Copies of this chain bind each other. A is one copy, B any other.
Amino acid sequence: MSDYTPTERTKIRRKPNRAVYDEAAIHAILDEAFVCQIGFAMEGQPYVIPTNYVRVGKRLFLHGSAASRMFRALAAGTPLCLSVMLIDGLVLAPTATGHSINYRSVMVLGKAQPIEDAQEKFAAMRAFVERVIPGRWPGVRPPSEQELKATMVLAVPLNELSAKVRTGPPIDDEAEYARDVWTGVLPLKLTPGAPLPDPRGKVSIPVPEYVRNYSR
């Protein structure tokens, strides 16, 4: 079992019993989610922008338009904070303040490094498709040289990070349980609905297994 060592900046201070530093547990959170929120500051004003990411080894890859202000700022070495959160449920306690949310979250601090090499960029694009929708890549038209040029790929190293997880039932004092109120957890999960065929798609092509049985 390998751990990420917390720094002064990533050590969990509020509710330290929720802290997770175990590498496998953190990677599992990062692999279930596929959207992160990137925080960075420009002229003293913080911005937080959601974007797609994938984990490959000990790096997170981001991609965006080479014309995007955020991607240009991050590529230039602007310090960032990358935040990922999975919502797992609502915690219904006997007391109002005992109510909570079950979740798994990861915070990564650092800087992004632009991926310039065309082959590395191509591999990252493959990862974006294949890690969000496993099985998808072989059927699609791969990125052209021009599309790769117009796309900026950034890597964020998983060096300075921590995770915070809440699981389980309410934790109110026993005395609060005198009330006649239902308590427990309502699980929540990002769940696929019925696939919506593309109006321009070929009706002869069945919905592939990797779409029908999609889950994260």
Residues of B within 8 A of A90 (CB): 132-133, 214
> Are the CB atoms of B49 and A179 closer together than 8 Å?
no
Give the CA-CA distance A192 to B190 in the complex, in Å: 9
> Are the CB atoms of A184 and B196 closer together than 8 Å?
yes
Complex copy number for this chain: 2
> Are the CB atoms of A147 and B97 closer together than 8 Å?
yes
> Are the CB atoms of A190 and B187 closer together than 8 Å?
no
Known: A139-B179, A196-B187. A50 touches B83 (CB 8 A): yes
Give the CA-CA distance A67 to B208 in the complex, in Å: 51
Of B38, B187, B205, which contacts A193 at CB under 8 A? B187
Residues of B within 8 A of A198 (CB): 92, 169-170, 183-185
**Chain A residues within CB distance 8 Å of chain B:** 9, 13-14, 34-35, 37-41, 44-50, 52, 64-65, 67-69, 79-83, 85, 87, 89-90, 92-97, 99, 101, 103, 105, 107, 109, 125-126, 128-129, 132-133, 136-137, 139-143, 147, 151, 169-170, 174, 176-177, 179-202, 205-208, 211, 214
A38 to B: closest C-beta gap in Å: 8
Give the CA-CA distance A197 to B187 in the complex, in Å: 11
Residues of B within 8 A of A101 (CB): 34-35, 52
> Are the CB atoms of A188 and B192 closer together than 8 Å?
yes
Known: A13-B69, A183-B201. A151 touches B97 (CB 8 A): yes
Known: A140-B96, A202-B180, A208-B182. A50 touches B190 (CB 8 A): no
